Amino acid sequence: MVLFMRYLKQLTQMQLKSQANGYLTVYLSLSMTVILSLILALLSGARIGAVKMKTELVSDISMNSVLGEYNRELFDRYGLLFLDDSYGSKSGSIKNVEEHLADYFRKNFELTDKGITGRKTYMSAKLLESGITGYSVASDNGGAVLKRQILSYMEGDAIGKIVKNVSKNVDDLNKTGYDSTDFQKKVNKNNSEISETYSADTDGDGEDEEIDIDNPAQSVASKRRLGILTLAAPDMSKISSAAINSDLYASHRSLSKGTGLDDKFSMGASEKALFNEYIFEKTSCYGAEKDDSRLKYELEYIYAGKDSDYKNLEKVAEKLLLWREASNFAYIMTDKSKLAEAEALALTASAVIAMPELCEIVKTAIILSWTFAESVSDLHILLTGGKVPLVKTAKSWRLSLEAMLSFGDHLKDGGGSGLKYEDYLRMLILTENDGKKTMRLMDVIEMNVRSTKGNDSFKIDNCIDAFKADFKASSRGMKSFEVDRIYSYEMG
């Protein structure tokens, strides 16, 4: 009986233990289901996050890779970073950039679609579509994009001493009023008075006779028709004969435009000074030519905008002649000894025709001719590397009255003190309209880049500075998703 009771007790304990184990199995089964679901959810979320992160990283890589295709010649010569969307072909298009962008994206994005074993990887994904939804080019908004890059290039430089000196010279010019003096008006008025027919009783018979005024300086005045370069240039045969078809360049053709993505820019006084310094630094001029420049006188072109070096130099010389005539006339009218010499010669001329009342007209003609001859002498000095002060003094005056009458034989090369030709030219550039300067600078850039290998059809309006791209990608088990970015050379 006792043995039977022990057996029942052991059997009961075994049943209870088996029942407890059954409860634990059910509990663990239910728990494992929840845990596995959580793990799978976390893995799926991690995968989705990883794929999206990879998409963003590849987007950055692709856009940086496209920006890395900047035009090398443009950078080497002008320090500017622009993507030429023609890629050296005859025509540019944003489609070309989109193709390069998609190619870079696929190469970096879809490389993991198959592993070393050739099987699908857990992070496999593919590009559905990509496109550029906005961009800006160098010539947008009147060259605002170009100017912004130029200022980025120049921002490490303090406003140069050259620009400060030029600005001071321009201030001095404005104070003197030479730039606003209409000297030609004085010449025209005097010519009109000289050419009039006058009547006088020259032989004492009581009857007036028609006479012409004798102008002792007529031979000097008549030389104006020869042209200033013919008179002042040291050697006409050495003036550059380079010429262009201006219709082919930015300032004369219809320009392609971006979407207005990033084309807002304005310049204050300091920015304008740096912009002008950039022009002085990167361009050539008469007396400082560059062998690899399409036009040898680039600063002259930026001022005048003509289609040949000769015409541009001539335009600059004509403007400088007006400044010099205004300056020389202002001085000679304060020099009593020179006025006395001119009056003496005028009296002699008018006495011959017994009309002393015409002395003032003849005197004015002599003074104007003397001024012209002195101004030609000034230009000759400038064009031969010499210096001429903005404001003349008795010490800096070159031609005597006698030398004036045959001034062509008295022109001297170089020497002097004051401002060089390049200083006067920079004053012209500084006073030129900013819009014209910018467009003509773009012309110069196009001319020179086109002369390099592989850039025959280079156009500044094909040069991209900033762009916005949109990428649409997908992966198995995921909805498609998009990434958009804006990249530029200044934003990085």
Find all residues with CB under 8 Å of 5, minimum gap 6, and list them: none
Rounded CA gap, 311 and 245, in Å?
Answer: 13
Report pLDDT digits (tens) over 142-178. 999 999 999 988 876 655 556 667 778 888 888 888 8
Give the Å distances, CA to CA, from 288 to 95, 210, 274, 298, 440.
42, 55, 21, 10, 19
Report pLDDT digits (tens) over 192-248. 887 776 655 555 555 555 666 677 888 888 898 999 999 999 999 999 999 999 999
- Provide the pLDDT for residue 285: 96
φ, ψ dihedrals at 133, nearest 5° = -100, -5
- Please report, in angstroms and rounded to a whole number, the separation of the first and last CA atoms in the chain: 95
Give the Å distances, CA to CA, from 292 to 77, 289, 448.
11, 9, 7
Is pLDDT above 80 for 12?
no
Is pLDDT above 60 for 367?
yes
Rounded CA gap, 396 and 412, in Å?
Answer: 13
Most confident of 102-111, 380-389, 473-482: 380-389
Residue pair 321/228 in contact (Cβ under 8 Å)? The answer is yes
- Provide the pLDDT for residue 159: 58
Amino acid identity for residue 100 in this structure: H
Tokens 């050379």 belong to 489
Compare 482 and 447 and report the one with higher pLDDT: 447
Residue pair 486/467 in contact (Cβ under 8 Å)? The answer is yes
Instruction: Please give the distance of CA 349 from its chain centroid, rounded to a whole number.
Output: 55
Q: Give the lowest-confidence range in 28-42, 109-123, 346-360, 369-383.
A: 109-123
The reported pTM is 0.84
Provide the β-strand partners of residue 483.
471
SS3 label, residue 83: strand
φ, ψ dihedrals at 140, nearest 5° = -60, 145
SS3 label, residue 414: coil
Rounded CA gap, 436 and 441, in Å?
Answer: 8
Is pLDDT above 70 for 293?
yes
Report the residue count for the chain: 492
Nearest to 266 by CA among 167, 148, 158: 148
Residue pair 367/332 in contact (Cβ under 8 Å)? The answer is yes
Sign of the C-alpha dihedral computed for residues 143, 148, 150 and 151 taken in this order: positive
Find all residues with CB under 8 Å of 305, minimum gap 6, and list them: 246, 251, 312, 436, 440
DSSP E strands in 138-175: the ranges are none
Report pLDDT digits (tens) over 45-96. 676 777 778 888 888 899 999 999 999 999 999 999 999 999 988 888 999 9
Look over the chain and give the mean of its residue pLDDT values, rounded to a whole number: 85
SS3 label, residue 369: helix
